[in-house]
Amino acid sequence: MFLDADELREMTDRKTRVAQRRMLNALGIVYRIRADGGLLVLRAHVERELGGAPAASARKKEFVPNWSAANA
């Protein structure tokens, strides 16, 4: 659900939390700050913003009409 510390470090190419926050802001990635100062970044948000596979809940089903019901 959330990026872990290693993924966050790899994505931002920054080690300190302050520098990671600056990079996330520059990338337009929404995050929250935990009580201990750690960063919470939703994996689905990152995938959506950076062009990864969309989260399952974000996908829209294609509408397919039931033509057999119209002929009844």
Contacts for 26 with CB less than 8 Å, ≥ 6 apart: none
pLDDT at res. 65: 78
pLDDT at res. 70: 78
Q: Is 4 helix (H, G, I), strand (E, B) or coil?
A: coil
pLDDT at res. 55: 55
Q: Which of 38, 56, 49, 51 is nearest to 1 (CA)?
A: 56
27-44: pLDDT as tens digits: 999 999 999 999 999 999
Strand partners, 64: none
Q: Domain-by-domain residue ranges, the chain?
A: 1-52
Residue 3 near residue 43, CB atoms below 8 Å: yes
Q: For the chain, which ranges sit under pLDDT 70?
A: 52-61, 72
Both structure tokens of 27: 């990338």
- Residue linked to tokens 């039931």: 66
